[in-house]
Structure 1
């Protein structure tokens, strides 16, 4: 057994035991099948043959007894006819079940069966004549037929049937003895096959348990390591040379290696904390420079003079009674007022939502029912308390209408999805359109611009958003997904900024 474990792998042993188990099971099934289809079938066939001969003889005997005891001078011919008909039906039915196949029975039994069938054919003809005479009420002719022909033929038929039954029983006795001996051998084989199944099944269970025990130890040790406890005992395996022993050894080595690495990292972290103190002042100076760059990005257009000019145009539109022009000017004024007032780095999400609605009002006046805007905001988001960078979503919406929906002849819909990802402390914002989309080359070109400093040209809004994310929210991300004729989806991941009491509940 020790040599077996040393030279054959655990997987090989389990597969070998499984194969042996199924082989023993197949032997058991085959023996059961042979016993059922050969031994028991032959016994059932012999017993059935005995029963058929006996029932056939009973049918003939019932007819002959009825004829012998019948009072021909004043008896009920109708009742006799019914009795004879019942006996004929019984004899006909059981004669078909008498085994007369020479390949299955002995020669003597075969000859007797043929004699019974031949004699019964003549007997059946006589009984048909008897039935015709009884039907006409000719009792004298019927009695004469019985005493002169039917009694003699019936006597021979009963004699042949009795000899057939005795021969079948005699020959069946030797066959039964042989089949009983074979059945005992089969039972012995069944016992051996069952014991083999139990033995190999026990070996399979033992091998699996040997596999599971070290795995369970490693699971417990892994949980302890996950909690930072590297002082757990090493996993011990009885057979250190097989696969489980090698796995346990590798696990123990990994645990000690991680312990050394953690200690090394702790020393490095201490050094890095000291360096961090020295870098704090430099980082503050760098933040000041980045804020200046951010303000430059947000102030690429100075809207002050435009806002004043729009006020004059708004009054003129009122005088000229131009409601659509007034709607456009009012929406644009709200956009400029938000731009002038949004000096804070973070604003409530509700303000971003409102300014996007104002922006959409401009497009709706211009393009009517060709453009649509839908919102899908999660119920657990408080728009007034959730903070986002100002003007972070509107450029994405504008880009979707300008490059996705407007070039499409039938127009389309821009859908905005906002939900919280509390597990990652992120705010998910997706701007989707069902517009013309872009091919792979155009998408790669736009993605490349997201990593450059925005200047002028197409998709400056996307570049501006990406640049502001790099400066304001390093954890934030902007992703683009598109395909021709299937629209474009811009996805923002922003740090989730909420009131302290709400964050404590997450």
Structure 2
């Protein structure tokens, strides 16, 4: 194909491109009509060609046969005329006369019917025919004159001259017949060659017509059938939910081209619609999950409040009683008892006054100090408490959720230090980095297994109502619900200790 295109000039290639564009713009109905008309035209052209070749050959041979037949008719008629003349001369009766006159008229008619067109018969036949006509005209005049004399009983030399004229005319007719036969033979030889080659010519024409029909059919298939197959494949891809396939590309500018363009637009719209539905479903599932988590948090907070209310039975009475005991201990110079009572009193006061959800970090650390003092009174030298607060950290201006650290410190003591006979160390540190507050509670207690740590970090641990509001799980829930991108990270090693890091991003 490239060789054919390279062999063509630029104007021819441009004409081919223009013809291709015009064909692609035609509607399917017009393409079908053109294809049908082309097939009909080919069939008619082949039929007309066959009729022309065969008809021309038959017509030519028929004309030769007709001309030859006319020559034979002239010869036969002239012979019959001569025979009728002899019979009439010998026996002068009405029947012979009538037959003679009819024979003369027939001969004249046959001679008149000879082809006498110079263009059709050529110079040689025209000359022979002209000589026959003129000779017969002269013979006819002499014949009538001699016949009158013979019938009157005057037999003379003219009758023999008449016979000589008959022989001469007869020879003229034979010459014309021979020339006609010769020309007919030549024409037949020419026609015979054409007729012999006619099957081959018909085969060539039929093959050419078949090739043209196939080429036109392939063109119609390329511009109609193939795009429809591609469109069917695209529909199958959509049925298999394969929307990532490339768009169908065709050169048609007819109904199929419009159909393919519409299909591509529909495919993209359907893909976007399905993607939107998936995103909406994911968003709905996420919202539902968040709502369930929120309900769970609210449930846990409700239980925590219930426990808090249950633990706050007449707190003012307990607080006032502790103040009385503290005063008596001071009067009795019991400083340690007095300090323990004051620390416990601070815890009660913090519990009573902290009705808001957030407190300053300094307040939260102060409560941990009081709580750790009471625990040290319990565990004695087995418990060591270290506080490491960054110097540049403004604890009074930073707010945190109330009772954030106490559950973590309590877990370190109850589940870490208390299980070790020699006790351990608890270290509280706080610092700020890149708008993130880091609070760490580290202990050198019993530690936890890897599975337990994974449960805590993935927030999948089951929390009973007894521990609601004071456990590490509740701290994690409060941080995740109150802050975005904040978390509680648990790190632990068996028999070495645990570190809980609270990361609050502001």
TM-score by length of 2: 0.38
TM-score by length of 1: 0.38
Larger Rg: 2
